[in-house]
Amino acid sequence: MSRYSKFARLGLFASAVALAPLGAHAEQFINILTGGTGGVYYPLGVAMSKIYAEKIKDSKPSVQATKASVENLNLLQQGRGEIAFTLGDSLADAWNGNTEVGFKSKLDKLRTVAAIYPNYIQIAALKDSGVKTLADLKGKRLSVGAPRSGTELNARAILSGAGMSYKDLGKVEYLPFNESVELMKNRQLDATLISAGLGVSAIRDLCASVDCVIVEVPKAIVEKIGSPYQSVVIPANTYNGQDKDVQAAAVQNYLVTRAGLPDDEVYQMTKSLFDNLPALQAAHSAAKAISLDTAGKNPPVPLHPGAAKFYKEKGVGG
């Protein structure tokens, strides 16, 4: 082959490469990291994927069921997701590299997209188990969520605030929400602690199937645990057979992404969510607590510049 032929071919190849982007659009993969299918993260993630598919041009969203907060944050740090749900206390632990809860080092690539709704820490017990208070859990069989999940970290905190630990329980099971409920229906567990939005399907299913009690977490215990826990009320009739308000604890949920994603991509993800909140609220009532006014305020880790741009445009900066 002559030198001229070589250069001619190189020139044609360079021209083709230069012209290719003019007629092609790169697909934008958006992997949404959620939680177990019996929780709130998963149906909201499915709703988000539908919004993104419709509103973000050339996007290819997918939904991944996970063990929730801790796993989601580790996956984000590894670049194995674009947006994820997490509890605020897990997010702070990840940013600080708390090894005791499953973070081998500081997860410095995490960036906040939005504060969303509070997770209510809800304890449901079989009525015939005799569990009416936190103290009654001593010697009983309790499911505390998947190992080192946000729910399991919440369980440790609540029991500690009540002067208890796993050693005081008769048996501890580390199970996803739906599996916990099935064991309770079969009388193989006395209670389950679930950290999720109000009206979570797992507890609704349980209380519709068997007589159950929603166990109070008194305000004094929540205050003893301290930030980021806050005292809240589970309104009467949230679940079948729950005819009175019940005191509980709550922790804020967040949507997070990772550093390195283009600002415009994160801007579009943030904007499309807040422009289509009714679609999220239709997927689960917990989304009714999402507020644009507070979404970017005081995040545990820095806002992603793309999300910050959206809040600035709306006049509700962080």
List, for residues 14-59, the tens digit of each pLDDT value.
444 444 444 445 789 999 999 988 889 999 999 999 999 999 999 9
Question: Any idea which of 6-10, 65-69, 78-82 has the lowest mean pLDDT?
Answer: 6-10
Q: What pLDDT score was predicted for residue 25?
A: 56
Show the beta-strand stretches assigned E in the chain: 28-33, 59-64, 83-87, 110-126, 141-143, 171-173, 191-196, 212-215, 230-234, 246-258
Whole-angstrom distance, CA of residue 318 vs CA of residue 316: 7
Quick one: pLDDT at residue 11?
47
CATH of domain 119-251: 3.40.190.10
Q: How far apart are CA 43 and CA 72, in angstroms?
A: 16
Say if CB 181 and CB 206 are below 8 A apart.
yes
What is the structure's pLDDT at 147?
A: 83
**CATH dotted code for 28-117+253-314:** 3.40.190.10
Say how many C-beta atoms besides its own lie within 10 A of residue 168's C-beta.
Answer: 15
Q: Partners of 300 in the beta sheet?
A: none
9 has pLDDT over 60:
no
The confidence band for 279, taking pLDDT boundaries of 50, 70 and 90, is very high
Amino acid (1-letter code) at residue 155 = A
Provide the 8-state DSSP code for 288: G
Instruction: Report yes or no: 127 and 212 within 8 Å, Cβ to Cβ.
Output: yes
Output the pLDDT for position 12. 42
Decide which of 245 and 25 is more confident: 245
| pLDDT, tens digit (0-9, with 9 covering 90-100), for 121-172 | 999 999 999 999 999 999 999 999 988 788 999 999 999 999 999 999 999 9
DSSP 132-190: -SGGGGTTSEEE--STTSHHHHHHHHHHHHTT--GGGSSEEE---HHHHHHHHHTTS-S
With 90 as the cut, is the pLDDT of residue 245 above it? yes
pLDDT band at residue 204 using 50, 70 and 90 as cut-offs: very high
The CA-CA-CA angle for residues 193, 294, 116, to 5°, reads 35
pLDDT for res 27: 86
| Helices vs. strands in the chain: H and E counts, helices first | 12, 10
pTM attached to this predicted model:
0.81
What is the C-alpha to C-alpha distance for residues 66 and 211, in angstroms, rounded to an integer?
Answer: 30
- Please tell me the distance from the alpha carbon of residue 157 to that of residue 134, in angstroms, as a whole number: 12
Position of tokens 């301290």? Answer: 226
Which residue(s) pair with 254 in the sheet?
86, 115
Question: Does the structure show a pLDDT above 70 at 106?
Answer: yes
Contact 229, 248 (CB under 8 A): no
All CATH 3.40.190.10 domain ranges in the chain, comma separated: 28-117+253-314, 119-251
